[in-house]
Structure 1
Amino acid sequence: MLTIYHNPRCSKSREGLALLELQDKPFTVIKYLNEPLTKPELTDIITKLGISPLELVRQKEKVWTDTYKGKQLTDDEIIVALVAHPTLIERPIVINGDKAVIARPAERVKEIL
């Protein structure tokens, strides 16, 4: 089952969702700003993405630049920040089983179909 972690206000996220809608496969949409991720869920997603927690951070977001930029944070502290401030999470994230991509550009979804 495919899952997309989606922010409807984000054009890139809408593009990713549109690409999934063209596929002949069922998928689940999780609006992660309305349904915040837990620390274990986010840790699992990062593992599936095969990236460091910092690579999932939208580092130009005001909350990041005001609160975290320039600080030496552990991976665990970054994950806690992402859970506390889900707007910091890069989007959209598409998961297919044990594989995941940040669908920027949207065509990256095809890598895990």
Structure 2
Amino acid sequence: MSDVTLYHNPNCSTSRNTLALLREKGVEPTVVKYLETGWTRPQLEGFLAAMGGASAKAILRTKEARAKELGLAQASDEKILNAMVKEPILVERPIVVTAKGTVVARPIEKALDVL
């Protein structure tokens, strides 16, 4: 299968394990190191739409200290998305995007749902 994109943080073991799982399944994804490229608001909104209109909290890395400092757990989608664009680390990882859908691969097996 081609046309799979993995939004990846190589410092994250879950992200590395998701990449390994995809490769084990014969998939060589396009890897986007989002900490280097950053996010756009339309891109994040596109993920949420592809996830069935999910709230921004669905892709918020709530364990990230910066999310707690900013009080994002109780914030509006507007505030969360703006913070994510400014600080890419706030987005949960890894995100797998295919023609079948978009998932946050936690646990990593969730990536299989969109293959």
Length-normalised TM-score, structure 1? 0.90
Instruction: Report how many aligned residue pairs link the two structures.
Output: 112
Match of 2:46 among 25, 41, 44: 44
Equivalent-residue separation in structure 1 for 2:68 and 2:23 (angstroms) = 35
Question: 2:64 aligned with 1:61, yes or no?
Answer: yes
CA–CA separation in structure 2 for the residues paired with 1:60 and 1:101: 18
> What are structure 2's unaligned runs of at least 5 residues?
none
Q: Is the 8 A contact 2:48 2:55 kept in 1?
A: yes
Q: Which moved more, 1:51-60 or 1:19-28?
A: 19-28
Distance 1:74 1:112, change over 3 A: same
Match of 1:110 in 2: 112
* Cα pair 2:57 2:73 within 8 Å, conserved: no
Amino acid at match of 2:60: V
Gap regions ≥5 residues in structure 1: none
Q: Counterparts of 1:80 and 1:110 in 2: how far apart (Å)? A: 30
Tell me the distance in 1 between the aligned counterparts of 2:8 and 2:73: 28
How much does 1:69 deviate?
4.2
Query: After alignment, is 59-68 or 26-35 more displaced?
Result: 59-68
Higher RCO (C-alpha under 8 Å, 6+ residues apart): 1
The 2-side partners of 1:89 and 1:107 are apart by 19
What is the TM-score when the length of structure 2 is the normalising length? 0.88
